[in-house]
Amino acid sequence: MYTNFQQYLQKEIQQIKDDGLYKNERIIITPQSAAIKTQGEGDVLNFCANNYLGLADNPELIQAAKDMLDKRGYGMASVRFICGCTDIHKELEKKISDFFGTEDTILYSSCFDANGGVFEPLLTDQDAIISDALNHASIIDGVRLCKAQRFRYKNADMEDLEAQLIAAKDCRFKLIATDDVFSMDGNVAPLDKIYELAQKYNAMIMTDVSHSAGVVGKTGRGTTELHNLRGKIEIITGTLGKAFGGAVGGFTTGKKEIIEMLRQRSRPYLFSNSIPPMVAGAAIKMFDLISNDNTLQDKLHANTDYFVAKMKAAGFDIKPTQSAICAVMLYDAPLSQRFAAKLSEEGIYVTGFYYPVVPKGQARIRVQVSAAHTTEHLDKCVNAFVKIGKELGVLK
Ligand SMILES: *Cc1c(COP(=O)(O)O)cnc(C)c1O
């Protein structure tokens, strides 16, 4: 029965390889950190993790996880509406609300699930979702699952957003959906202007803080902090899998009636297990760490400024960034692949992005800075870029 399908898959997979789009995974044999060891390439400096605050191997979080493993066991073995959750899950939801200045929070097993389950329970075909063209795949999928009418505006383009809001003016409820930070360029959503337009056209806002939480704003509250919009955004989704410790888990936080309705109707919440208590316990510890002390956020900001300034001084073309994502523009796809491969030989672990992940002719290497990087790590990365840049004729 399988033969025809097998041949079809083998052909498709070969095509992916021929197109140069086949994804190979490296195997890391140490905890996630600034300096890691991989199978094959040995010791490398990691500049492509979302480990922005360097918490993925933090001893206090590891201890908190171990303690909670002893106190509340390994797993929940049920969904919440049937069997409930632990006091630890509720405590974490409260911590998230306090951190973002929101009314209530609902946990998911990932932000992919949070986004997958946020639109469909809230909006119907009488309503409109106005979505940024560069939104994350999980927002796009979430919108697809919802019957609301769909409007798309060009990335962070406020003229186009206004045009789409006008086009959607007869819809009952309007929700603007955006990433807080766009992960390919590192730019933030112009939330101040989005907020003004939302007021003018009677729309609500949903923003996904996955790449901005812990990163953007003085204390890492995201773009709402940057633009003084704390408590004013209806829906914020985010992940515990990036700056917030890097383990697993997602959340939606915002207006309390919205969260209440999601608990009743959001399918990834109703029909999927809760995060393990040890992850919730470590996440509580994480919020205590970064709420009481701004050292890691300050370090991340200083590291990012340092890295971007050095790369610019060296002559690289860097996309303007307001996050810890730094896009080194090379434009040519094969060049970006060669560049990334040579950096890897220098012990610098980064990822090249090219079409279809970014537009044609916009190939780049994305560098992600972490609070865990030392000045020595950053210098080593810049020096490797300069060396390869000269070798490949990117730098004169
Ligand atoms: C990483 C990411 C997600 C997915 O988060 P997970 O918790 O890993 O599922 C969702 N949205 C955005 C914008 C992201 O960058």
What CATH number should be reported for the domain holding residue 39? Answer: 3.90.1150.10
Q: Is 208 in the pocket of ligand 1 (CB under 6 A)?
A: yes
Q: Which of 89, 136, 227, 242 is catalytic?
A: 242
Asked, for residue 5, whether it belongs to a domain, the answer is: no
Dist. CA 41–CA 311, nearest whole Å:
25
Q: Check if 37 is active-site.
A: no
**Top mutation candidate among 239, 269, 275 for ligand 1, by most atoms within 8 Å of CB:** 239
Asked, for residue 308, whether it belongs to a domain, the answer is: yes
Residues 230 and 319 in one domain: no
Dist. CA 279–CA 165, nearest whole Å:
40
- Enter the DSSP assignment of 76: -
Radius of gyration of the chain (CA): 22
Residues 271 and 370 in one domain: no
**Cβ-proximal residues to 174 (8 Å cutoff; 6+ apart), any chain:** 127, 128, 129, 130, 165, 168, 201, 202, 203, 204
Asked, for residue 10, whether it belongs to a domain, the answer is: no
Asked, for residue 12, whether it belongs to a domain, the answer is: no
- Looking at the DSSP bridge assignments, the partners of residue 201 are none
Which pLDDT does position 40 carry in this prediction? 85
Q: Is 221 in the pocket of ligand 1 (CB under 6 A)?
A: no
Q: Is 110 in the pocket of ligand 1 (CB under 6 A)?
A: yes
Asked, for residue 14, whether it belongs to a domain, the answer is: no
C-beta of residue 46 within 8 angstroms of C-beta of residue 60: no
Q: What is the mean pLDDT of each run of 10 residues along the chain (396 residues)?
A: 97 92 90 96 95 98 98 96 96 98 98 98 98 97 98 98 98 98 96 98 98 98 97 98 98 98 98 97 98 97 98 97 97 94 95 90 97 98 98 94
CA of 47 to the centre of ligand 1 (A): 18
Residues 221 and 287 in one domain: yes
**Top mutation candidate among 52, 110, 112 for ligand 1, by most atoms within 8 Å of CB:** 112
Of 237, 258, 292, the residue that ends a domain is 292
Asked, for residue 94, whether it belongs to a domain, the answer is: yes
Which pLDDT does position 345 carry in this prediction? 94
Q: Which of 183, 212, 266, 323 is catalytic?
A: 183
CA of 388 to the centre of ligand 1 (A): 31
Measuring CA to CA, which residue among 275, 262, 271 is closest to residue 118? 262
Which pLDDT does position 22 carry in this prediction? 85
CA of 193 to the centre of ligand 1 (A): 24
Which pLDDT does position 19 carry in this prediction? 84
CA of 18 to the centre of ligand 1 (A): 29
C-beta of residue 272 within 8 angstroms of C-beta of residue 79: yes
Dist. CA 325–CA 307, nearest whole Å:
11
Report the greatest alpha carbon distance in the chain: 64
> Residues 31-49: pLDDT tens digits?
999 999 999 889 999 999 9
Asked, for residue 284, whether it belongs to a domain, the answer is: yes
Tell me how many degrees the CA angle 295-296-301 measures, rounded to the nearest 5: 100
Q: Is 134 in the pocket of ligand 1 (CB under 6 A)?
A: no
C-beta of residue 261 within 8 angstroms of C-beta of residue 109: no
Residues 71 and 169 in one domain: yes
Q: Does residue 320 have a cis peptide bond before it, meaning omega lies within 30 degrees of 0?
A: no
Q: Check if 183 is active-site.
A: yes
- Looking at the DSSP bridge assignments, the partners of residue 106 are 252
Tell me how many degrees the CA angle 96-209-206 measures, rounded to the nearest 5: 95
Task: Give the residue, by CA position, lying nearest to ligand 1 atom 14.
Answer: 210
| Domains contained in the chain, number | 2
Beta strands, E only, the chain = 35-38, 42-46, 104-108, 128-132, 149-153, 174-179, 204-208, 235-239, 250-254, 325-331, 348-349, 351-353, 363-368
Q: Is 112 in the pocket of ligand 1 (CB under 6 A)?
A: yes
Residues 210 and 323 in one domain: no
Residues 213 and 150 in one domain: yes
Residues 109 and 188 in one domain: yes
Task: Work out which ligand 1 atom sits closest to the CA atom of 239.
Answer: 7
**Top mutation candidate among 136, 272, 368 for ligand 1, by most atoms within 8 Å of CB:** 136
Q: Is 241 in the pocket of ligand 1 (CB under 6 A)?
A: yes
CA of 210 to the centre of ligand 1 (A): 6
Q: Which of 136, 174, 211, 377 is catalytic?
A: 211
Q: Is 114 in the pocket of ligand 1 (CB under 6 A)?
A: no
Residues 303 and 219 in one domain: no
Residues 331 and 288 in one domain: no
Dist. CA 21–CA 245, nearest whole Å:
30
Residues 29 and 98 in one domain: no
Residues 89 and 210 in one domain: yes
Asked, for residue 137, whether it belongs to a domain, the answer is: yes
- Residue-number span of the structural domain to which 102 is assigned: 59-292
Residues 239 and 384 in one domain: no
Of 238, 267, 292, the residue that ends a domain is 292
- CATH number of 158's domain: 3.40.640.10
Task: Give the residue, by CA position, lying nearest to ligand 1 atom 15.
Answer: 210
Of 262, 292, 322, the residue that ends a domain is 292
Whole-prediction pTM? 0.97
Q: Which two tokens stand for residue 285?
A: 């510890």
Which pLDDT does position 214 carry in this prediction? 98
C-beta of residue 323 within 8 angstroms of C-beta of residue 186: yes
Dist. CA 216–CA 189, nearest whole Å:
11
CA of 251 to the centre of ligand 1 (A): 10
Q: Is 323 helix (H, G, I), strand (E, B) or coil?
A: coil
